A and B are shown apart, each in its own frame.
Chain A
């Protein structure tokens, strides 16, 4: 199943400057895993060492945050588009 993942500009140097990557997968988690298989340098910026998605990394499926759906288990269909959008957080302590 072919899904398009839109790559945020800061991360495009890890995808050979591609703004969109076609991946395979039946769920959001599988699609992201295929993305990092194709572009391994992306992995550390999306995932923690334990394999969990970093807390500030958000994935939108056709403009809806997948946390409001079935998170990584959300099914995807051919033609779907996933966006990777960071939340920006921090602070002095």
Chain B
């Protein structure tokens, strides 16, 4: 199982974004480094949900925003390694819509927000055959910091 290394501070940033965006979905870009089986998040880029409708159950990061994020990552000597979005009042599991519009090789971090409070955070990677998402471990312990108090529900094995 692959692992997503992310600091508690970055998870808190994402959790806050998900909370203040409630009841809409929020989204953003994860910038860092990747090696086989492990992804290291070094920057979190919060961006606006560019959907003009159905923002409570849909999100969009336009290609122009993705391109700008790629350029920002390159300027730092890093790469875009994943994306995050929230599921207001729904579990942190990818939907069929998420699967249809994903690529393998990047992490999709989903935050479940229940009544504006972060309830769970899980990370997923699309299989090479596009048939399913595989969950990856969110790992904070290996980067030497305790889990944030504001992000309950992050996997026990990950913290």
Contact A88 B60 (CB under 8 A): yes
Contact A9 B63 (CB under 8 A): no
Contact A9 B97 (CB under 8 A): no
Q: With A9-B34, A88-B83, A89-B58 in contact, is A55–B63 under 8 Å at CB? A: no
0 or 1 for each of B52-67: is its CB under 8 Å from A? (1 = yes): 0010011111111011
- In the complex, the chain A residue whose C-beta lies closest to that of B59 is A91
Q: Which of B64, B70, B85, B104 contacts A90 (CB 8 A)?
A: B85
- Give the interface SS of chain A, mostly helix, strand, loop or mixed: mixed
The interface size bin for chain B is: 35 or more
- In the complex, the chain A residue whose C-beta lies closest to that of B82 is A10
Contact B101 A92 (CB under 8 A): no
Give the residues in chain B near A12, CB-CB below 8 Å: 105
Contact A90 B58 (CB under 8 A): yes
Q: Which of A54, A55, A85, A91 has the most CB of B within 10 A?
A: A91
Is B98 in the interface zone, CB < 8 Å from A? yes
Give the residues in chain A near B155, CB-CB below 8 Å: none
Contact B104 A60 (CB under 8 A): no
Q: How far is the CA of A44 from the CA of B64 in the complex (A)?
A: 23
- In the complex, the chain B residue whose C-beta lies closest to that of A93 is B57
- In the complex, the chain A residue whose C-beta lies closest to that of B93 is A92
Q: Which of B25, B64, B70, B101 has the most CB of A within 10 A?
A: B101
Selected A-B contacts with CB under 8 Å, 16 pairs: A8-B70, A10-B104, A12-B105, A60-B67, A85-B63, A86-B103, A89-B58, A90-B97, A90-B101, A91-B25, A91-B57, A91-B95, A91-B97, A92-B87, A92-B88, A93-B97
